[in-house]
């Protein structure tokens, strides 16, 4: 694997994870529990789409095969996506959504903080910019997890269930392969083993405040590095890619 091949994959990982979570956020549009949250979800989605565009465009530039951000978003199949498994988890109820978003925004928050000093200028700029946005996403989801966890008996038990259900997808956030190995040597990528303890601290702090119990690690799902996904991604793509597939090259 060449450095450029690894870089393309790395950018797709970052770009795809933002894109897929952005699409999940968009699914809340007009379905939010209250108007303010409906707007919040759409705004978070917008940030994520913006972040994704930067990375997918850059992936296309390095690859040098004239693929645009739109080609990457709309003309790939499940196995060609490298988003982490957590980002594709269905929205479920509002508690499921905010717990998933907490796990993900705590991950990107710590990752982007470190990536801001990547030796790759585009990735460093992307990370520094995105960090400002995910800081708000992290605060938003953390406050909701506390409100629901430390809320009523019912909201507590539902949110604990969300934490338990999503836990098996957390290990995939820290999985690495030869892409990481190559890019860490070049000071482009970050060793995710450095991110894990930071993520643990943030998650433990939030769960404790929320009176929720951190689950024990047992069976953990993995596979996103090789494009192995759950069936949820296929359903998501079917909706997201419908228009460009039905009307190729359609323009606004």
Partner 1 sequence: MPSVTKHTTEEIWRFLSEIPDPEIPVISITELGVLRKVDIENSKVIITITPTYSGCPAMKTFEDDIKFKLQENNILDFEIKTIHSPAWTTDWITEEAREKLRKFGIAPPIRGSEDKGVLFHSETKNIECPNCNSNNTNLKSQFGSTACKALYQCEECLEPFDYFKCI
Cβ atoms 90, 232 nearer than 8 A: yes
Q: Based on the shown chain and the rule CB under 8 A, indicate whether residue 39 belongs to the binding site for partner 1.
A: yes
**Measured from the CB of residue 185, what is the shortest distance to partner 1 in angstroms?**
24
Other CB atoms within 10 A of residue 193 CB? 10
The contacts of residue 145 (CB under 8 Å, 6+ apart) are 98, 99, 102, 159, 206, 207, 210, 212
Residue among 67, 129, 156, 222 that touches partner 1 (CB under 8 A): 129
Q: Which two tokens stand for residue 219?
A: 């069976």
Angle subtended at Cα 188 by Cα 185 and Cα 191, rounded to the nearest 5 degrees: 65
**From residue 32, how far is each of 37, 107, 168 by CA, in Å?**
6, 24, 26
Per CB under 8 A, which region of 5-13, 34-42, 168-176, 243-251 contacts partner 1? 34-42
Q: Which two tokens stand for residue 182?
A: 């190559």
Per CB under 8 A, which region of 51-59, 168-176, 215-223, 228-236 contacts partner 1? 51-59
Per CB under 8 A, which region of 4-12, 73-81, 135-143, 161-169 contacts partner 1? 135-143
Residue among 5, 75, 91, 125 that touches partner 1 (CB under 8 A): 125
Residue among 130, 159, 160, 170 that touches partner 1 (CB under 8 A): 130
Query: Measured from the CB atom, is 118 or 227 closer to partner 1?
Result: 118
Residue among 67, 76, 196, 209 that touches partner 1 (CB under 8 A): 209
Helices (H) and strands (E) in the chain, counts: 10, 0
Query: Measured from the CB atom, is 178 or 208 closer to partner 1?
Result: 208
The contacts of residue 205 (CB under 8 Å, 6+ apart) are none
- Residues composing the chain: 252
Query: Measured from the CB atom, is 62 or 220 closer to partner 1?
Result: 62
Q: Which residues bind partner 1 (CB under 8 A)?
A: 36-37, 39-40, 43-51, 53-54, 109, 121-122, 124-126, 128-130, 132-133, 135-136, 138-140, 142-143, 146, 202, 205-206, 209
């Amino acid at each position: 694997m060449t450095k450029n091949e690894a870089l393309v994959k790395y950018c797709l990982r970052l770009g795809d994870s933002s894109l897929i979570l952005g699409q999940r956020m968009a699914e809340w549009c007009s379905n939010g529990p209250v108007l303010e949250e409906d707007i919040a979800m759409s705004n978070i989605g917008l940030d994520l789409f913006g972040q994704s565009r930067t990375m997918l465009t850059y992936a296309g530039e390095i690859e040098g095969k004239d693929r645009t951000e739109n080609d990457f978003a709309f003309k790939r199949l499940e196995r060609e996506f490298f988003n982490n498994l957590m980002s594709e988890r269905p929205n479920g109820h509002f508690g499921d959504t905010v717990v998933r978003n907490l796990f993900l925004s705590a991950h990107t928050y710590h990752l982007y903080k470190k990536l801001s000093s990547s030796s790759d200028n585009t990735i460093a700029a992307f990370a520094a910019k995105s960090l400002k946005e995910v800081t708000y996403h992290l605060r938003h989801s953390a406050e909701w997890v506390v409100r629901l966890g430390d809320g009523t008996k019912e909201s507590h038990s539902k949110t604990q269930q969300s934490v338990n259900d999503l836990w098996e997808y957390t290990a995939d956030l820290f999985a690495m392969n030869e892409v990481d190995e190559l890019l860490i040597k070049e000071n482009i990528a970050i060793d995710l083993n450095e991110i894990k303890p930071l993520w643990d601290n943030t998650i433990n702090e939030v769960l404790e405040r929320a009176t929720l119990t951190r689950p024990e690690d047992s069976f953990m799902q993995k596979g996103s590095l090789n494009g192995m996904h759950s069936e949820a991604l296929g359903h998501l793509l079917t909706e997201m890619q419908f228009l460009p597939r039905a009307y190729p090259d359609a323009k606004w």
